Amino acid sequence: MNASTALSDEQASQVAEAIGQAEARTSAEIVCAVATESGRYDRSEMLCGVVLAAISLVVAHTFRFFNQLEQGSFEEVPALGPAWQVGILVGGVVIGTVLASYWHGLRQVLVGSGIQREEVDRAATYVFATSGMTATRQGTGVLIYVSLFERRVVVLADHAALAVLGESGLEVLRDTAVSHLKRGAMVDTFVETINQAADSLSEKLPADPEQNPDELANQVLRFHPRP
């Protein structure tokens, strides 16, 4: 699954409709975003390449050793030539790096949770800063950011919305989104979190079309492979 296919057009419309209904109750400007991944994770891919190269070289030497034994030569086993060794190492690095790029399960093992958390936080902050959420009239922007590879959610809010929700409120919204994301319910991941955010914000930040018109498009931002 990637950001382009995580939601069908119909499902994206459902999320957009939920945003519109929520913003009819609160002056908050809610934006939803989904990314295939939040980090490039080059180091993990290179590490996979190095590991595969080392394994390939060991296997090549082992195969050559036993091949010589089968031929009855127990006294001296000639080493692989330098060109062969370099070729095996380079091939292993390239193949391992490519495998890690496309096989996310392998890369998931090699990337620590701390690094993933940092990359998701960084990407969410970038989306928040570049999608117009810091430029709303009353500082009421709320971002619900989902990163698929890391299976993580970040909820960010501009100053007025943050004053109402607080950090604990953002964590509650995040936990709601994560609970649905773990079940693979992408629409509910956004819709239920949107509705909960509106419930929390509507009393102190009620909708006022004259003072706070709809400033940001009601849509799901999609980033493939990453912001």
**What is the per-residue pLDDT for 147?**
97
Picking from 34, 26, 30, the residue whose alpha carbon sits closest to that of residue 7 is: 34
My answer on whether 141 and 215 are in the same domain is yes
pLDDT digits (tens, 9 = 90+) for 190-205: 999 999 999 999 999 9
Using CA atoms, how far apart are residues 198 and 107, in angstroms rounded to an integer?
37
- Cα 165 from Cα 207, distance rounded (Å): 16
Q: Could you give the C-alpha distances from 171 to 107, 136, 140, 208, 221, in angstroms and in order?
A: 27, 23, 17, 27, 21
155-179, pLDDT tens digit by residue? Answer: 999 999 999 999 999 999 999 999 9
Could you tell me the pLDDT band of residue 36, with boundaries at 50, 70 and 90?
very high
Q: Which two tokens stand for residue 103?
A: 């096989």
What are the angstrom distances between the C-alpha of 177 and each of 142, 144, 183?
A: 14, 8, 10
% of the chain at pLDDT higher than 90:
59
The yes-or-no verdict on residue 27 having pLDDT over 70 is yes
On whether residue 1 sits in a domain, the answer given is no
Based on the domain organization, do 193 and 88 belong to the same domain? no
Examine the domain organization and report whether 124 and 13 are in the same domain.
Answer: yes
Residue 64 reports pLDDT greater than 80: no
Q: What are phi and psi of 138, to 5 degrees?
A: -110, 10
2-16, 77-91, 153-167: least confidently modelled range: 77-91
pLDDT at 209 over 80: no
The pLDDT, as a whole number, for residue 8 is: 96
The reported pLDDT for the residue numbered 81 is 74
- Supply the pLDDT for residue 57: 78
Residues 94 and 161 reside in one and the same domain: no
Q: What is the pLDDT of residue 76?
A: 56
| Interatomic CA distance for residues 117 and 38, integer angstroms | 9
pTM of the model: 0.80
Asked whether residue 99 falls in the same domain as residue 137, the answer is no
Predicted confidence at residue 88, as pLDDT, reads 80
Is the distance from CB of 2 to CB of 34 less than 8 angstroms? no
DSSP element (H, E) containing 110: helix 104-110
Domain-terminating residue out of 63, 94, 110: 110
Domain finish residue from 110, 128, 143 = 110
Shared domain check, 201 and 123: yes
Looking at the structure, do residues 89 and 134 belong to the same domain, yes or no?
no
pLDDT, mean of residues 110-117: 83
Average pLDDT over residues 76-101: 75
Report how far apart, in Å, the C-alpha atoms of 200 and of each of 14, 164, 188 are.
Answer: 21, 8, 18
